[in-house]
Structure 1
Amino acid sequence: MSFMTFASRRLAWGIGIMVLVSFLVFSLLAASPGSIVSTLLGSRPATPQAIAQVTAQYHLDSPFLVQYWDWAKSALSGDFGRSIQSGQAVTSDIASHLTITLELAVYALLLILAIGTTAGIVAGIRQGSLFDRATSGLSVLGMSAPGFVVSILLIYLLGVQVAIFPVYGGGNGDFTDRVEHLTLPAIALAVGIIAVIMRQTRAAVGGVVDQDYVTFARARGLTLRRITLHYVLRNAAAPVVNTGGLLAIHLISGAVLVETVFALGGVGQLMVQSVESKDIPVVQGLAFFIALVVVCVNLLVDAVTLILDPRTRDGARR
């Protein structure tokens, strides 16, 4: 099976998933409690003109499947309607909150790669050492700590007692100020994922280190650096990438709690506010956007795994 064939099949799978997700997301409006018209009107008075406008805008006088088809066509062009709470277009509302969420996710991802993978590689190569035992204990502690508990602990220790980092908001947009404001949220978001990546990387590297080809490379007198880069990491990368893809999706759900605790005003906090205010168009737009991100991450992980490990290509061909 060629890479293009594999990619086309996975893309078709992704499109099918998004069609199913879009139908479920659209059904949120019909499943919301109370009258659909009352939900879409929000705090506006239920005048005949307002009711007629909402009915025409959302095609409420059409059959359910026709309503879904009209909504899906608009969603493909980026039109998810208007927010009940703010009156802005849903895409504009999401975009205004998306920047700080992406910055937080990138910051947390850098911490995960710098700490989790590095510590896991060293622990896997030096199994049984003091460093290995220490990282194993810390990883268990990190996996046991919920994100909101870590957030509160960081606020108390580094924001109140020592007062090194700010604990509220995302800063004024300046790079240095933004990094200072996002440091504690990024740490809180990354702690649990670092622990999982550390253990997964240690297990993957430890399994490769014991292989015969690594022993043979050592017997040939190759340097530890070359053995690690060309033999160990290349063969241990596939399971780590698969785990990393799943954990990258976990960043989305973790960001909801972390952004709420630190009042960052990102997509996670927008989701909480929209659910509390029953802003169904925004909830629909966010759910569709998150599902799209999840599908794209899965496709990317599959493609990277296929490139990294030739054995997966052989398995796909069989």
Structure 2
Amino acid sequence: MLYVLKRIIALALVLLVSSFIVFSGMYLAPGSPEQFLVQGRTVTPEVLEVIRAQYGLDDPFLVRYWNWLVDVLHGDFGRSLVTQQDVSTLVESRLPTTLFLATYAAILIVFAGVGLGVLAATRSGAFEKIVVFGSNLGFAVPTFFAALVLMAVFGSNLGWFPVSGSGEGFTDRIWHLTLPAIALAFPAIAVVARITRTAVREEQGSEHVVMAIARGVPKRIVLGRHTLRNSMLPVTTVLGTNIAGLLASAFVIEYAFTLDGIGSLLVNSVQKKDFAVVQAIALIMVLAFGLINLIVDLLYAVIDPRVRLAREVSA
């Protein structure tokens, strides 16, 4: 319990530091909000002063940051400089598509990556060579290129899946987001499959596994209870890292498949210097990454009780 509390406090500190970096980084970027608001028109100093006062740009930097942070903690991310919409409402309308896509891709990574890695480790021969070749291909093929290939083959030529839009309703969303999810998950599946295969192979040669087999324990029980469980620590780390990065890499897929997610919104907002929207999306990504890392740390203790015992002793 104490360890969980420490991790939550650490996550809160990371979010606080990240919020300061996100807020200050946007103001250090070329251009300024007032320059965007006047759209290159020549305005009098009085008008510019009114604009700065309206958006709080005439306050000291730390005051602006504090006011912004307090508003964020109350769920208020400000207003979009481009659409004049509430940022929370704007992001909320786009977030379900990205979350559905990232969750779909995460499920593919877990089942396909771990499953293929385990099968490759337990079955030598042609199947193992195919998995190794596929993992090498996953390392080499960029996400955007994978998306284009999937769109051309399974969308345009075969017509099995749509190549644009996110769909309506659960079933329709799955149909529309299958190709984007596969393209998004493909590199991570390759990494997880390779790490899983290596971890299981190493565990198969460990002393306790050899002794279990020598005692006549059925291979199925040895595989599940001894080999897989003890090989899952490095696999869990890789899974957490790749799943946490899905939100950050989703913008490439959303742009390719013209999806209405926060990734495509982030790209448009950066191009148009819509500071409030960029700051909100950046914080969401930092929060998602931190939460997933926290879950991975907690899973360590579930997978290996020795990790939990070590943490209790250190605490």
TM-score of the superposed pair, with normalisation by structure 1: 0.91
Check if 1:81 corresponds to 2:110. Answer: no
Question: Which sections of structure 2, spanning at least 5 residues, go unmatched?
Answer: none
| 1:46 Cα offset (Å) | 6.4
Check if 1:149 corresponds to 2:145. Answer: yes
The corresponding residue for 1:299 is 294
| 1:42 Cα offset (Å) | 6.0
| 1:45 Cα offset (Å) | 10
- Note if contact 1:29-1:36 (Cα within 8 Å) is conserved in structure 2: no
Q: Distance in 1 between matches of 2:43 and 2:281?
A: 27
Check if 1:166 corresponds to 2:162. Answer: yes
Q: Distance in 2 between matches of 1:27 and 1:96?
A: 26
Check if 1:11 corresponds to 2:8. Answer: yes
Match of 1:193 among 164, 172, 188: 188
Q: Distance in 1 between matches of 2:28 and 2:40?
A: 20
Match of 2:219 among 224, 227, 230: 224
Q: Distance in 2 between matches of 1:285 and 1:154?
A: 31
| 1:225 Cα offset (Å) | 2.2
Name the CA shift for 1:270/1:207 in 2 (closer, same or farther; >3 Å). same
Match of 2:107 among 101, 106, 110: 110
The count of aligned residue pairs is 313
The corresponding residue for 1:36 is 33
- Note if contact 1:58-1:67 (Cα within 8 Å) is conserved in structure 2: no
Question: Which sections of structure 1, spanning at least 5 residues, go unmatched?
Answer: none
| 1:32 Cα offset (Å) | 3.3
Question: RMSD value over aligned CA atoms?
Answer: 2.2
Match of 1:239 among 230, 234, 242: 234
Moved more, 242-251 or 221-230: 221-230
SS in 2 for 1:83: coil
1:200-215 pair list within 5 angstroms: 200-215=195-210
Match of 2:262 among 264, 267, 279: 267
Moved more, 144-153 or 177-186: 177-186
The corresponding residue for 1:91 is 88
Name the CA shift for 1:197/1:170 in 2 (closer, same or farther; >3 Å). same
Name the CA shift for 1:237/1:40 in 2 (closer, same or farther; >3 Å). farther
| 1:314 Cα offset (Å) | 4.5
Name the CA shift for 1:64/1:134 in 2 (closer, same or farther; >3 Å). same
Moved more, 25-34 or 293-302: 25-34
SS in 1 for 2:245: helix
TM-score of the superposed pair, with normalisation by structure 2: 0.92
| 1:64 Cα offset (Å) | 1.1
The corresponding residue for 2:127 is 131
Give the AA of the match of 2:58. D
Name the CA shift for 1:44/1:263 in 2 (closer, same or farther; >3 Å). farther
Name the CA shift for 1:163/1:241 in 2 (closer, same or farther; >3 Å). same
Q: Distance in 1 between matches of 2:201 and 2:277?
A: 46
Question: What are the Cα deviations for residues 30-58 of structure 1, in whole angstroms up to 9, with x where unaligned?
Answer: 22333432335669996999856653454
| 1:196 Cα offset (Å) | 0.4
Q: Distance in 1 between matches of 2:41 and 2:201?
A: 62
Q: Percent identity?
A: 39
Give the AA of the match of 2:179. L
Q: Distance in 2 between matches of 1:303 and 1:113?
A: 17
| 1:13 Cα offset (Å) | 1.8
Name the CA shift for 1:155/1:216 in 2 (closer, same or farther; >3 Å). same
- Note if contact 2:248-2:285 (Cα within 8 Å) is conserved in structure 1: no
| 1:153 Cα offset (Å) | 0.6
Name the CA shift for 1:312/1:42 in 2 (closer, same or farther; >3 Å). farther
Name the CA shift for 1:74/1:48 in 2 (closer, same or farther; >3 Å). farther
| 1:67 Cα offset (Å) | 1.2
| 1:188 Cα offset (Å) | 0.5
| 1:125 Cα offset (Å) | 2.2
Q: Distance in 2 between matches of 1:47 and 1:179?
A: 53
